Amino acid sequence: MALKKKSIISLAGVAVLALGLMTGCAPKSDASKSKGEEVVNVYSARHYEVDKELYKEFEEQTGIKVNVVEGKAPELLERLKRENKDTQADVFASADIANLYQAVEADLVQPVKSEVVNKNIPENLRGANNEWIGLTTRARIVAYDKETVKPEELSTYEDLTSDKWKGEILTRSSESSYNQSLLASFIELNGEAKAKEWAQGIVNNMARQPEGNDRDQVKAIAAKEGKVAIVNTYYVGQMLNSKDAEEVKAAQKVGVFLPKDTHVNVSGIVLSKYSQNKENAIKFIEFLTEEKAQQAITDQNYEYPANPKIEANKLLKSWGEFTPQKIDITKIGEYNKRAVEIFNEVGWK
């Protein structure tokens, strides 16, 4: 299924399916609902408390029960492929455009036909035929040690490969879909050779072997293991508002720098090609795009809302405005495989 070229302008504990099925087991055809019960079955690679709260609110508003299977995106995608026409999934939610793209390419989705969604989400944050719907955006930025780095020392992603950052760069592994999408964007913007040169430059300047998630990179800055890190903004927001005092303390030691032509990724949702509860699924997607849900997501999870009627949380706004990459977002998914190959070629573990 073809995707239309677009550019970014701005940008759901574990439950099992009804009847007590275990998450890793293939669901049976009658497991999605009990007699007379309305349901929507969600496969989700988004693991946030605000999502769970929104699911509960959706249930209260509509009487439609939300059954959730959580997992990592690749695992859920493989499950969708394996189950094929027998899948219980009505929707699949992911924290990264590359995984949404893979669902489309594998012919696992169908268009979301909804004027509500079209009204709430800009065209550039939807697939060409609404094969995928953006729910949030998140910027991948540079976090820096406020004690040793001045903001004026930072400029572009490319500058991170310069000798002044030798032994100072912190980042997670090449298995991170966030890093894969970042590199994929460089392939689209600058070509494979320049993208590979950038990746090699980051490897050359790493303070340590890649490890942990974005929170761990922030903690490593606080521990003086490196001076700068490539992270998503929402992780910094979550840490600054964490119940864990040590996370708060670490996050308070870093600054947020928005590079020129900031890389922005999409967290979104697709409608399963074989949804057995299509009407409920569309209602669910519509609910997540409405103003109240979008406000909750940005205020509690520190993501940028996809609905332009909602302003970003004040913390996000305090970090300043940024100009996103002028890029066809679908290319991020298209170049994902090549990005992984380049990471392997340059030794980005």
Which sequence spans correspond to the domains of the chain?
Answer: 39-136+266-311, 138-263+323-346
Model confidence at 330, pLDDT cuts 50, 70, 90, reads: confident
Nearest to 212 by CA among 200, 225, 198: 225
Backbone angles phi, psi at 347, to 5 degrees: 80, 25
Q: Give the list of residues 6+ apart from residue 81 with CB closer than 8 angstroms, or none.
A: 106, 108
Q: Which residues of 206-229 are buried (b: 16+ CB within 10 A; e: fewer)?
A: bbeebeeebbbbbbbbbeebbbbb
Query: pLDDT per residue over 53-92, tens digit each?
Result: 999 999 999 999 999 999 999 999 999 999 999 999 999 9
Options 3.30.70.360, 3.30.70.260, 2.60.120.10, 3.40.190.10; which CATH number does 138-263+323-346 get? 3.40.190.10
pLDDT of residue 18: 36
Q: Is the dihedral of CA 154, 160, 162, 165 positive or negative?
A: positive
Mean pLDDT in residue range 309-318: 96
Q: Is 47's pLDDT higher than 60?
A: yes
- Return the number of other C-beta atoms located less than 10 Å from residue 231's C-beta: 27
Q: Hey, do 39-136+266-311 and 138-263+323-346 end up sharing a CATH topology, with the first three levels equal?
A: yes
The CATH classification number of 39-136+266-311 equals 3.40.190.10
Residue 288 vs residues 57, 185, 264, 318: alpha-carbon distances, Å: 11, 27, 20, 25
